[in-house]
Amino acid sequence: MATNEKTSKSYLDLVNECDNFPYPQTDPGLYDARLDGLYTLLVAEEESTLGFVLPRVAEVLRGLPSWTLNDDDGTLTLSAGPSEDERSAIVAATTMAMRQTGHFAVLSGWRDELYPVYGRDGKCLFKIERSASPLFGVVSYGVHMTCYTKDAVTGEYRFWTPKRALTKQTYPGMLDNTVAGGLAAGEKPLEAVVREGEEEASLPADLIRERAKAVGNVSYFLIRDEKAGGETGLMQPESQYVYDMELPDDVVPKPNDSEVESFALLSTEEVKVSLRRGEFKPNCALVMLDFFIRHGILTPENEPDYVEIIARLHRRFEFPTVKYPGSQ
């Protein structure tokens, strides 16, 4: 299967498309210029920056009780609610009002799933509806698992690769990792893998618990484009817990909900071609590159951007992140 050289993406191109917020270390001028156009999200009496907010989002909150918009220092502060429950209630009321007015298209994908937002000490400061998290630019968490087979003689890998349903609001019709989903507040990563594995791929829970291996984390800071659904330019820093699972030949993932159209067992070369054609959902491309690196498919000898790619797959955020998975 040949790749059209005019449309072929390098592996570093794939990283740049997903981890596309400027770095303060490598381009401080661009980073500072980007921040000049954003509001910093704070919680009263917390020193930590929790997210970056576009002016058109912050402006909607101007004058609302419990929210303070300061144009002089460019901050948006959740100023009321001494407890996590009270702050979460304020955020819930705010985002629900946004949804009811239809002000932001991204909220049409309302999930009724809550994501935690952590402070510097790892304590959950508040919870927020999943679809609203990009409006506030807070770190969200998820799980991705690559299911594969490996030939006992040749050592060749083949990857169970789903195609996302064309009805999906986000990245319709693109290729995905075998199992992937968001990590809800209070949920442990492995339990999320089990839940998503059953829902998306019809994989037995006992099989996942027996065979799934936690192999690391992939993190990036995405500025959303039109493929992500809803408004463009929203901030989406994400941290993904990564799992591998070698499947027996007689176990075949099958769609079990409306999110996956089909599964195909692709060779390593077929996955490489699809990556270079930009057919994978952006963050799923990064998880595949991480698999290639860990399993010696991508090496310093065959990839000129090897060191840069590895560094960029594990971005360190400007914001606090969870210290203990699922902690509250």
pTM of the model: 0.94
Whether residue 111 contacts residue 129, with contact meaning beta carbons closer than 8 Å, is answered with yes
Helix, strand, coil percent content, the chain, rounded in steps of 5: 30, 25, 40
Q: Can you give the pLDDT at residue 324?
A: 58
Question: Alpha-carbon distance 185 to 328, whole Å?
Answer: 8
Question: Alpha-carbon distance 320 to 177, whole Å?
Answer: 27
Residue 55 burial (10 A CB sphere; 0-12, 13-18, 19+): middle
Q: Which residues contact 150 (CB under 8 A, 6 or more apart)?
A: 156, 157, 158, 246
Question: Alpha-carbon distance 146 to 143, whole Å?
Answer: 10
The number of helices, as runs of H, and strands, as runs of E, in the chain is 10, 12
For 105, list phi and psi in degrees, rounded to 5: -65, -30
Q: Can you give the pLDDT at residue 36?
A: 93
Question: Alpha-carbon distance 229 to 240, whole Å?
Answer: 20
Sequence letter at residue 5: E
Domain positions in the chain: 11-20+140-312, 37-136
Query: What kind of architecture, by CATH, is found in domain 11-20+140-312?
Result: Alpha-Beta Complex (3.90)
Question: Alpha-carbon distance 11 to 85, whole Å?
Answer: 43
What size, in residues, is the chain?
328
Nearest-CA neighbor of 16 among 278, 319, 227? 278
Each residue's pLDDT tens digit, 7-21: 799 999 999 999 999
The mean of the pLDDT values for the chain is: 94
What does each of the 328 residues of the chain score in pLDDT, given as a tens digit?
A: 344 445 799 999 999 999 999 999 899 999 999 999 999 999 998 889 999 999 999 999 999 989 999 999 999 999 877 899 999 999 999 999 999 999 899 999 999 999 999 998 888 999 999 999 999 999 999 999 999 999 989 999 999 999 999 999 899 999 999 999 999 999 999 999 999 999 999 999 999 999 999 999 999 999 999 999 999 999 999 999 999 999 999 999 999 888 899 999 999 999 999 999 999 999 999 999 999 999 999 999 999 999 999 999 999 999 999 875 444 4
Reply yes or no on domain 37-136 having CATH 3.30.750.160.
Answer: yes
Each residue's pLDDT tens digit, 203-222: 999 999 999 999 999 999 99
